[in-house]
Structure 1
Amino acid sequence: MSPPAESPAASLPAVRARNLGKVYRVHTHPLNRALELVTRRPRHRAFHALEDVSFEVPAGQGFGLIGENGAGKSTLLKILSGITAPSSGELAVRGKVASILELGSAFHPELTGRQNIVLNAALLGLSENAIREKTPQIIAFSELDEFIDQPVKTYSTGMSMRLGFAIATQVEPDILIIDEALSVGDGYFQKKCIDRLLEFTSGGGTLLLCSHAMYYISAFCTQAIWLQHGRVAASGPSQEVVRQYEEFLLAKAGQSHAAEAIVPGPGRIRDVRLPGGALARQGEAFAVEVDWKSDDPGLEFHLGIGLNRIDGVEVCSFGTRLDGEPAFRGAQRYSVRLELPDLQLLKGRFSLYVFLLDGAGLHIYDRQILADAFAVESAHYAIGLANFPHRWSGGSAGATALPPEASLHV
């Protein structure tokens, strides 16, 4: 995908929102709509889906949108996409916008996939020649060759997602808006979508991403906002906003997040072992061994391991990519060992989270969670969670008398 064309107003934000609000009229009975028109008296209640939402998205950067279901995220994305208008506030969007919101919402069910490509590309402003040039690329990316001339109403959800994603990313928008589209489809196509988004953002495209997967928000977005009940609960650097949101979820649930389902992909974890057993001791060596299988020797893999206390407190994490290790590739079976020569945990019971990642360290091919995997004992009574290498220095400071004006009084 080619980089978006340079804009003469490149220094201006791609999106600027000021005090956006959206109010819907909620009628308790369909008849109340007619009565309201006739009597000119309100027979509805106002539902504020968005209130006083302000932010800016710099051109060429990723911007994340997070929050619980019903927080107003989809409403905001529809306003940014031009599908609906705000009830109040100001919005400025600079550049061509392509969006992937509710899957299949932009398709005419009676038209074929090919006809929907032409229709959607034309709505996005492509010329007839550009549509003719892009159509084979869109079909190739979606991998719907044998179904492309069938009505879209016969497509599965995954097929509609493939087609929608292919159209939105192939028309070379300046701004790409995605609402949870990466959570649908098999692992292979999810990986393909991630690679396409990396290509888009590295080429200078502006990405607005809404997702419940915090690792996508952290990876693709430099800034983010957290919506809660239609209002901005937090905004700023994505890492900080994600941290606040995760702390809120943990406090609300009283426990760690429920694991999101992982669609089986071309890489699968076969075994996770603790060669030293389920009891570890502070100051001794500790190791984790992971075996996995790959359907394709050409695929690249990285491994991530997280360590949580059983009450959900995140203790530490390790990753081959973050540690500068080369990606694993060239085989169908792998066995990797992580070793801590001097375990500094003092005491407690801990869970292990093992992630099999792609070569970019973004897409999760597989995951295994070992709840209450091992316990740590200390040779003596210990206070706290971990021991840190340290040293003491100093001693007697002498008996220097304080001057009268500096005397201390108790």
Structure 2
Amino acid sequence: MSSDTQPPVLSFQEAGKTYPPQRTPLRQLWGHLRGSQRLEAGGYTALQPVSFDILPGQSVGIVGLNGAGKSTLLQLAAGTLTPSSGQVRSQGRIAALLELGSGFNPEATGIENIFLYAATMGLTHAQVSTRLDAICAFSGLSSEHLAMPVKTYSSGMQVRLAFAVATSVEPDILIVDEALSVGDGVFAKRSFDRVMQLRENGTSLLLCSHALFHVDLFCERCLWLEQGRIREFGPTSAVLPRYQEYLDGVNRQPGIDAVSATVQAHAASALPDPSDHPSDPSAPPVPPDTPAPAPAAVARFIQVEVGLDDTVGTELRGHTGSSTLHVDATVHTSAQEPHPLVAVVISSESGKILGSGHCPPGTVQAHNAQGHAQVRYTLPQLPLNKGRYRVGVYLLCAQGRYVYEWMDPIAHIELEHSGQHQGPWLLAGDWTQVPHG
């Protein structure tokens, strides 16, 4: 909960960032000798001067296409960049998860880096010592790995250690740049829970993510950047739908598929990172067609089938108001997630979500020793107008907060209808004649 009566914990006051053009060593020396501080022509402006405040306990999501200035804004907020113009003021302790391993010494061990990284956020050696066991446990790294130099770590191992340290310092401001999408499903779920706990304890959050449901879930306000400028800044419920409509328009341009790229990127990130578990060099090679075993602790889809009337497939044809859609999902549950949720999402061809249906809590029940469960979603008499639609399936945690896996689209449906109705939905209702007088 934020308070309008308290001063902001983070304030951008006409803060911008412009990089000077690349110069030869001789020109750089000449510039230093004459003491010139002005920017030369041809520089690159990554962020135009922007102004906004973040209040205590407030969560703000940053959205925008690649090159919009999001990473520059986050680095200015974290203090790792100095603005070329204006000021950035902050109050309290800042924990930032930006580039992977950016706060680590690659030659130092994991344990040594815990103390070094925490010291940059203002913790003393004694304070880190009291948190050390909890940090190591949260990271999930073994004592052997923690005794090894960080340069031997995979990207997933680095982000787990960085996230464990950054969120253990009880920051006043937590800055996250896509880090929630890195790592295996078990750690990602744990990270989601930790961020939610920090928010509930009053930590302000600045989150940048291409996965819009992350922004919708965590953030009460949303800042939309476009070409280094603020296009909109306001309640997430108002800004995010307009940004999604903008993505739909970009998606329809030839050669650009922003929505599908986002879906594919997150679908890949939802899977376990094989580099987090280095293989034994003495083990025989695995044939290329052998499927990788999924960790037993991660809920996942085993099989999903979409059907329209009596036909199952990925390209389905039916009729508005009479065809029945059904989705059959076989799910692998786990001890940590015995009752995950399955959701079916129907979207327009451009990717704009039209509606969704979640199974009630407890519907997914394992029916064998392997933890397999089967559920079916049925939508009779499809109330969609004529046109082509996408069907997607999502596997979420029991609280509906974390997405373990998604396939969107898993199928397309083409509906025929002879009426003159407008819009995607046919509105239910009855028309009756009202007697005059």
Partner of 2:259: 257
Which structure has the larger Rg over C-alpha atoms? 1
- 369 and 49 in structure 1: CA distance in 2 versus 1, 3 angstrom threshold: closer
Partner of 1:294: 332
Partner of 1:181: 179
The residue type paired with residue 338 of structure 1 is Y
Work out the CA distance in 1 between the residues paired with 2:408 and 2:119. 47
Work out the CA distance in 1 between the residues paired with 2:24 and 2:363. 60
Work out the CA distance in 1 between the residues paired with 2:180 and 2:194. 11
> 1:138, CA displacement in angstroms?
0.8
> 1:221, CA displacement in angstroms?
0.2
Bigger shift: residues 348-357 or 294-303: 294-303
User: Where in structure 2 are the equivalents of 1:137-152 lying within 5 Å?
Assistant: 137-145=134-142, 146-152=144-150
Q: Which runs of 5+ in 2 are unaligned?
A: 273-297
- 16 and 148 in structure 1: CA distance in 2 versus 1, 3 angstrom threshold: same
- 67 and 386 in structure 1: CA distance in 2 versus 1, 3 angstrom threshold: closer
Counterpart contact for 2:333–2:373, Cα < 8 Å: no
Partner of 2:307: 274
Bigger shift: residues 240-249 or 193-202: 240-249
> 1:229, CA displacement in angstroms?
1.6
SS at the partner of 1:120?
A: helix
- 252 and 186 in structure 1: CA distance in 2 versus 1, 3 angstrom threshold: same
Q: Which runs of 5+ in 1 are unaligned?
A: 1-5, 399-410
SS at the partner of 2:20?
A: strand
- The yes-or-no answer on 1:89 pairing with 2:86 is yes
Partner of 1:406: none
Work out the CA distance in 2 between the residues paired with 1:367 and 1:100. 25
Work out the CA distance in 1 between the residues paired with 2:4 and 2:383. 53
- The yes-or-no answer on 1:35 pairing with 2:30 is yes
Counterpart contact for 1:187–1:365, Cα < 8 Å: yes
Partner of 2:42: 45
The residue type paired with residue 49 of structure 2 is D
- The yes-or-no answer on 1:16 pairing with 2:16 is no
Partner of 2:60: 63
User: Where in structure 2 are the equivalents of 1:112-261 lying within 5 Å?
Assistant: 112-145=109-142, 146-254=144-252, 257-258=259-260, 259-261=263-265
> 1:104, CA displacement in angstroms?
0.5
- 16 and 110 in structure 1: CA distance in 2 versus 1, 3 angstrom threshold: same
> What does the per-residue CA deviation read over 1:110-162, in whole Å, with 9 as the maximum and x for residues that have no partner?
11111111112222222332111111111111122221111111111111111
- The yes-or-no answer on 1:305 pairing with 2:344 is yes
SS at the partner of 1:76?
A: helix
The residue type paired with residue 176 of structure 1 is L
Counterpart contact for 1:250–1:257, Cα < 8 Å: yes
Bigger shift: residues 300-309 or 205-214: 300-309
Partner of 2:425: 386
- The yes-or-no answer on 1:328 pairing with 2:328 is no
> 1:393, CA displacement in angstroms?
5.6
> 1:240, CA displacement in angstroms?
2.3
Equivalent pairs counted in the alignment come to 389
Partner of 2:383: 344
Work out the CA distance in 2 between the residues paired with 1:127 and 1:230. 38
SS at the partner of 2:119?
A: helix
Work out the CA distance in 2 between the residues paired with 1:291 and 1:127. 51
User: Where in structure 2 are the equivalents of 1:70-81 lying within 5 Å?
Assistant: 70-81=67-78
The residue type paired with residue 24 of structure 1 is Y
- 369 and 84 in structure 1: CA distance in 2 versus 1, 3 angstrom threshold: closer
Counterpart contact for 2:363–2:375, Cα < 8 Å: no
> 1:275, CA displacement in angstroms?
5.7
- 340 and 48 in structure 1: CA distance in 2 versus 1, 3 angstrom threshold: same
Counterpart contact for 1:346–1:382, Cα < 8 Å: no
Work out the CA distance in 2 between the residues paired with 1:108 and 1:138. 18
Work out the CA distance in 1 between the residues paired with 2:57 and 2:365. 32
Work out the CA distance in 1 between the residues paired with 2:392 and 2:210. 18
What RMSD over aligned residues (CA atoms) do the two structures have, in Å?
2.7
The residue type paired with residue 173 of structure 1 is P
Bigger shift: residues 229-238 or 47-56: 47-56
1:25 aligned residue (20, 23, 38): 20
SS at the partner of 1:344?
A: coil
> What does the per-residue CA deviation read over 1:204-231, in whole Å, with 9 as the maximum and x for residues that have no partner?
2211111111000010000010111211
> 1:386, CA displacement in angstroms?
2.8
Partner of 2:293: none
